[in-house]
Structure 1
Amino acid sequence: MTRPRSTTTLWRPTGPKELELVRDLGWRAWPPRLPEQPIFYPVLNEDYAIRIARDWNVRHDGAGFVTRFEVDTEFLARYPVQQAGGRTILELWVPAEELPEFNTHIVGRIEVVHEFRPAPEGA
């Protein structure tokens, strides 16, 4: 009898262009990084992802989305948690060249859990 894999929940704030690429990949993988993006940064908590999607992606991309997905915990052990600011600002730094392998360890589908748009004029 096999034990079910242990997974870790990760979050990814994203803009509409990246989200469209995820949709094109069947909600099962992240697209390759652009040349100026040497690292893929999933984050470890929802609040941090919300702040980035709401405060950065909306301003720069016109909309922000927070995605949630599960990754095989044993595989993630190769990526030390990086503290990118305060004690709750935690990320994993996945080198772009390792993203295809990372994608094979996603368990289930990537799902959108929050969407942010600019506030209406005068609001």
Structure 2
Amino acid sequence: MPDVVTLWRPTGPEELGLVEASGWRCWPPRLPEQPIFYPVLNEEYAIKIARDWNVPASGAGYVTRFDVRADFLDRYPVQQAGGRTILEYWIPAEDLDELNDNIVGLIEVTRTYPAA
């Protein structure tokens, strides 16, 4: 088993549908206005985004968890996007296929937040 890093991704229903269509194995290509893929390093931060941003924006929010080979992530510095626990990777859209190739196992939904 390779060394892996567990990442979290808050997402809305449209993106989650594309992940499901992939057999829970990969993230869909970014849209032109999305040059960066932002997986986060802790579930609490992912929960906050899914609940407080995805639900109002798209009617539901989901928290996903997935493992990525550590040696792939080594080339990307961890970014602090706010407070000390608001940590994420900034993966350029053109590297997303390679990230997908380095996912170990399946992408899984850990939490669901429907609109109130």
Using structure 1 for the length normalisation, give the TM-score.
0.93
Gapped runs of 5+ residues in structure 1?
Answer: none
Deviations 1:61-107 (A, max 9, x none): 00000000000011110110000000000000000000001100000
Does the residue aligned with 2:52 lie in a helix, a strand or coil? Answer: helix
* Residue aligning to 1:33: 30
Instruction: Report how many aligned residue pairs link the two structures.
Output: 116
Does the residue aligned with 2:15 lie in a helix, a strand or coil? Answer: helix
Gapped runs of 5+ residues in structure 2?
Answer: none
Determine whether 1:61 maps to 2:58. Answer: yes
2:40 counterpart letter in structure 1: V
Alpha-carbon shift at residue 118 of structure 1 (Å): 1.8
Does the residue aligned with 1:43 lie in a helix, a strand or coil? Answer: coil
Q: Is the radius of gyration larger for structure 1 or structure 2?
A: 1
* Residue aligning to 2:12: 15
- What is the alpha-carbon root mean square deviation over aligned residues? 0.5
1:63 counterpart letter in structure 2: A
Q: Distance in 2 between the 1:48 and 1:68 partners?
A: 12
* Residue aligning to 2:98: 101
* Residue aligning to 1:43: 40
Determine whether 1:111 maps to 2:108. Answer: yes
Structure 1 residue runs of 4 or more that deviate by more than 3 Å after TM superposition: none
Q: Distance in 1 between the 2:23 and 2:85 partners?
A: 31
